[in-house]
Amino acid sequence: MTAPSERAPTPGGTDRGLSTVRTLLVALLVLGGSVGGAFALGVVGAPSVVGVENRFGEVTNETTTIESDLQVNNPNPIGVSLGGTTIDYGVSMNDVSMASGTKEGVSVGTGNTSVPFTTELDNSRIPAWWVTHVRNGEHTDLRVDATATSSLVGQSYTTQVSRDVNTSVIEAFRTDEPKPLNASSPVVSDPVLILERTEAEWGTVNEERTEIGMTLHLHNPKAYPIVVSEIGYDIYMNNITMGSGEAARTTTIGPGETVAVEATTVIRTGTLDEWWVSHLRRNQVTDLRMPFYLVIDLSNGGGGEQRIELDSYERTIETDVFGTKPADSGVDTGSNGSSDGDGSTDGSTDGTPTDTPTGTPTPSSTPTATPTATPTATPTSTPTGTTTDDGGLF
């Protein structure tokens, strides 16, 4: 039996194998370069921010944490994990920059990926925002800007989402139903005056003081003149003293006459950051209370000088800054909000005041306006060809 012969090595076989490996490596490198080139040329899409979801996190006396989920869309069939991918995020209110943040080295899969993001709002910025809010008719344009930038492809894509935040705080200082004012004096019958209605308008507003011009329409039902010599007040928001004072202004109201008595109340703007903390900790709910009094002279009726305590004006003011706060507005320590970069926002900012006057007699004050929020998201995706720096956040 003849032993099988071994096949002799083919000359040049080792070289051909190495050549094949080298060819594959070159092909992979060329493919990688092609993908990078495609990114640069726009043939393959670069990741972009398409939506933003916001909610309030921890609130301290100094800062407010805003927790956000950015929806990043990667239109490519492969994931992207590059150290050169950066997301800049900012929020402003009426063009007042409230906070900002940057996240680098973002990794995204194919399709949409949620990227968690945290920024810090400096509570000391609240008074500056408040001034713009009141001067703008209690209206705020809340704007969220998110920019995704890739140093590899040299392009940036920006999404901007806007929503309107409206309140009606001034309504808390208005009444339109008569309220009898009693002296509870043994020598003078009640009521001694009737507060027919109260008007209120914003006055001077700056970072030191917020003025409210109030007009009290007082009717004298007596057969003799009554002199009003002083009006005093206190303003509380979530039991925080926001302002107090008194106005010594002598006004004589003739028998059967109705006279408009003017008084200016003042909120200390600098205390609004303290109020802001309480507002968020109570799930964006504020209980506003304003007790005030009149000092009147009833000498013509045999009663002398009397101090009359008026029933407190009380109003519940509720907001929903980011737009999707749960319907249950009970006291809580956070609220959620989301806005989509496709041009829509979820939820609405409510600021509906609720009248809850206390004391006897019980007044009935009906708010004449209900604050609403109109979402006006306007996303844009603009390749700029350069790295952008986006700053600002509420």
Does residue 24 lie in a domain region?
no
Residue 257 pLDDT > 80, yes or no?
yes
| Residue 212 structure tokens | 């409210």
Give percent of the chain above pLDDT 90: 46
Residue 182 DSSP SS3: coil
pLDDT exceeds cutoff 80 at 390: no
CA-nearest of 340, 299, 85, 317 to 187 is: 299
| Residues 183-196, mean pLDDT to the nearest whole number | 94
> Does residue 116 sit in the same domain as residue 263?
no
Q: Where is pLDDT greater, at 123 or 29?
A: 123
Residues 105 and 218 in one domain: no
pLDDT of residue 54: 87
Q: Is the pLDDT of residue 96 over 50?
A: yes
125, HSE (Cβ side, Cα atoms, 13 Å): 18
- Tell me how far apart the alpha carbons of residues 253 and 216 are, in angstroms, rounded to a whole number: 12
State the pLDDT at residue 10.
52
pLDDT digits (tens, 9 = 90+) for 361-374: 333 333 333 333 43
Tell me what pLDDT residue 70 has: 84
The 8-class DSSP code of residue 43 comes to S
Q: What is the pLDDT of residue 74?
A: 78
- Report which of residues 367 and 198 the model is more confident about: 198
CB 192, CB 183: distance < 8 Å: yes
Mean per-residue pLDDT over the chain, rounded: 76
By the 8 A CB rule, do 175 and 312 touch?
Answer: no
* Number of neighbouring beta carbons within 10 Å of residue 250: 9
Which range, of 156-160, 167-171, 281-285, 298-302, averages the lowest pLDDT? 156-160
Looking at the fold, whether 162 and 53 belong to one and the same domain comes out as yes
160 and 177 belong to one structural domain: no
Higher pLDDT, 121 or 350: 121
Do 132 and 253 fall within a single domain? no
Nearest CA to 238 out of 386, 59, 366, 114 is that of: 59
Q: Per-residue confidence at 311, pLDDT binned at 50, 70, 90?
A: confident
What is the reported pLDDT for 163? Answer: 86
Q: Which token pair is 65? A: 């944490």
DSSP 171-240: GGG-B-S-EEE---BTTBPSPSEEEEEEEEEEEEE-SSEEEEEEEEEEE--SSS-EEEEEEEEEEEETTE
Report the candidate in 283, 269, 157, 251 with the shortest Cα–Cα distance to residue 211.
269
Q: Are residues 209 and 302 in the same domain?
A: yes
- The structure tokens listed for 323 are 């737009």
Mean pLDDT of 140-161: 81
Structure tokens at 48: 């972009």
Q: How many Å apart are CA 177 and CA 357, to the nearest integer?
A: 12
pLDDT at site 172: 85
Q: Which of 166, 186, 210 is the last residue of a domain?
A: 166
Cα–Cα distance between 197 and 362 in angstroms, integer? 14
- Mark whether 162 and 176 lie in a shared domain: no
